[in-house]
Amino acid sequence: MTKRWVGVGAPRVALAVPLFDDRARTVANLVDLIAHEGFHMAGFFSGDGLTAGDERKAYYAGLCAQLAVRGEIHMNSLPGAVIEGVDDSMVTASSGAAYRVRREFAKFFEDDKRIVQSEAGAAVIKRCEAVLGLTWNS
């Protein structure tokens, strides 16, 4: 664990980021975390509590930021966990959003990663635009 302070004034936000042996995975996780938590903060500071608390959109913000910044999303960057033999009724409320987003993204993977220039990458971008209500500039 490494501690860094980015002085952007009050209020202060502390984020804990695991350091993996795989540097690319660490960077992907960092990009994802900042986008995810930044989405919550932007919703909070704009006074939109409904958006601030939308976990599904926050997970999308993280994954879409990975695609925008790094040009790819690795399977090991998806939120939630695949649990064999578990249907939707058995997913807890706290894990529901992560599990749902994982399932929504998993269908775009043909191997172990998806690149922005690929056909599936273009489909992911369309999905990011639809869910987050934004236009992708590349």
Using CB under 5 A, list all residues that contact Zn ion. 55, 58
Q: Which is nearer to Zn ion, 60 or 72 (CB)?
A: 60
| Shortest distance (Å) from residue 121 CB to Zn ion | 24
| Shortest distance (Å) from residue 109 CB to Zn ion | 22
| Shortest distance (Å) from residue 40 CB to Zn ion | 6
Q: Which is nearer to Zn ion, 42 or 123 (CB)?
A: 42
**In 1-138, at which residue ranges do the beta strands (DSSP E only) sit?**
72-74, 113-115
Q: Using CA atoms, how far apart are residues 89 and 112, in angstroms rounded to an integer? A: 28
| Shortest distance (Å) from residue 118 CB to Zn ion | 28
Look up residue 120 and give its two tokens. 């599936």
Whole-number Cα distances in Å, 119 to 40, 77, 114, 126: 30, 20, 9, 11
Contact 30, 105 (CB under 8 A): no
Sign of CA dihedral 112, 118, 120, 122: positive
Q: Which is nearer to Zn ion, 27 or 33 (CB)?
A: 33
Residue closest to Zn ion (Cβ): 58
Q: Which is nearer to Zn ion, 36 or 70 (CB)?
A: 36
